[in-house]
Structure 1
């Protein structure tokens, strides 16, 4: 009985702090973050839970304090969302890639060339929002699956997403007539963001990310997470 009482006392202290973050649903890089970020916090004795949401809703909930922050976003997110604080050290990255029909004559050498084509992208995703800013030939959709199906059917010219996200979705859908460009349009680091009320977390989390980078633990964790996400993603077909 004394042993059980002792456990009752110490178990809650194991996770004296708990936080709830948002991620963007249906994106491969965000799924990797859903595995990596909890481990970073776990090493600090902090438990986190993560809710996948549409991009705009994730930003709203992080900005308003309904969630404690977001799993990962690009650098400019911090400027656009001043009620959040960027953890200074990035822990992942993404490439902005254009996917086109393999039999098309589309030529895209620079971002400006996108203006010549009908573009589709996932709603609320910052890196594709930024790259198409000011363009009127852009349609927002809910998922990468929807985008690539439109391109495959010839109903859109170019789908913009992270390279790995697009390649995995093509395999899921068994689409063979769509391919990425030979070179990505952009490459950006990804940062964790917390609500401004949690400023005390910033130095602790930043230091842990730096430490894990130095020891190689972060690279190993990311490799394992990528393999797990790819295995899970290729084992199912997205509707």
Structure 2
């Protein structure tokens, strides 16, 4: 009898330990779920890597999201990879793309209004006589541009001889060695490169011919932030603070070191 009582007592103790462990495991699981939920609140956007206007856009958009209490993480990617990641919903959207970019992508939401812009510019060798004031002036020329960038894709859409490269530095090297007549980049990105001795003595800007507004694009699964972000952009525009942010961001971006490009 005493042996039976001891066995029952031991069984009760084991049961109590099991219950205690179960409660502990449940608590840890719930805590982990809570942590995951908190982490999922961070919005992850892609940006086109190694471009000055994207660094400007990142600085501005981070300030916009921070001012309305939204956590934001920006991941620099090659432009074509950023597009693919966005369409496959591996990221929540992209920080800065032009209007035509979203026209054939119904799963993406363009947040109005725009909060920054880019200007499409043409660059040529210093002894060149080319004057590019419109996209039609590129007809008959060999042109190089960055792969996956919508504004330069638009400029070169109807041209026969187009080279696609991976970075602005590759473009300028390509031009320097006379592999193309003209290269297409943004005005501000080209301006940064022309600050360098290795390019300034060989290359010039031969025209700025198009302006595009830049918009924040989000996936449908983040639609709930649309109006909040839109309202903040409008408020910053009305107060003049958006222009102040842009000027500050451009100054910082033009001073970035070579490791960013």
When residues 237 and 156 of structure 1 are mapped into structure 2, their CA distance, relative to the original with a 3 A threshold, is farther
CA distance, structure 1, for counterparts of residue 165 and residue 146 of structure 2: 5
Partner of 2:247: 223
CA distance, structure 1, for counterparts of residue 61 and residue 38 of structure 2: 18
Partner of 1:178: 203
Q: CA deviation at 1:60?
A: 0.9
Residues 95-110 of structure 1 aligned to structure 2 (within 5 Å): 95-110=119-134
Matched, 1:27 2:30: no
Q: CA deviation at 1:238?
A: 7.4
Q: CA deviation at 1:14?
A: 10
Q: CA deviation at 1:108?
A: 3.3
TM-score normalised per structure 1: 0.88
Does the 8 A contact of 1:20 with 1:68 survive in 2?
yes
CA distance, structure 2, for counterparts of residue 193 and residue 205 of structure 1: 11
Q: Look up the SS of the partner of 1:116 in the other structure.
A: coil
Structure 1 runs (4+) deviating above 4 angstroms are 12-16
When residues 110 and 36 of structure 1 are mapped into structure 2, their CA distance, relative to the original with a 3 A threshold, is closer
Partner of 2:232: 208
Matched, 1:158 2:182: yes
Partner of 1:119: 143
| Alignment equivalent of 2:100, drawn from 76, 83, 103 | 76
Gaps of 5+ in 1: 1-11
CA distance, structure 2, for counterparts of residue 201 and residue 173 of structure 1: 45
TM-score normalised per structure 2: 0.81
Q: CA deviation at 1:229?
A: 0.9
Partner of 2:78: 54
Q: Look up the SS of the partner of 1:135 in the other structure.
A: coil
Q: CA deviation at 1:88?
A: 1.2
- In the alignment of these two chains, the number of paired residues is 225
Gaps of 5+ in 2: 1-34
Q: CA deviation at 1:159?
A: 0.6
Which one has the largest radius of gyration?
Answer: 2
Deviations 1:112-144 (A, max 9, x none): 221211100000000000111132210000000
Using the TM superposition, name which of 106-115 and 193-202 deviates more.
106-115
CA distance, structure 2, for counterparts of residue 187 and residue 27 of structure 1: 16
| Alignment equivalent of 1:88, drawn from 99, 112, 131 | 112
Q: Look up the SS of the partner of 1:34 in the other structure.
A: helix
When residues 229 and 238 of structure 1 are mapped into structure 2, their CA distance, relative to the original with a 3 A threshold, is closer
CA distance, structure 1, for counterparts of residue 259 and residue 128 of structure 2: 26
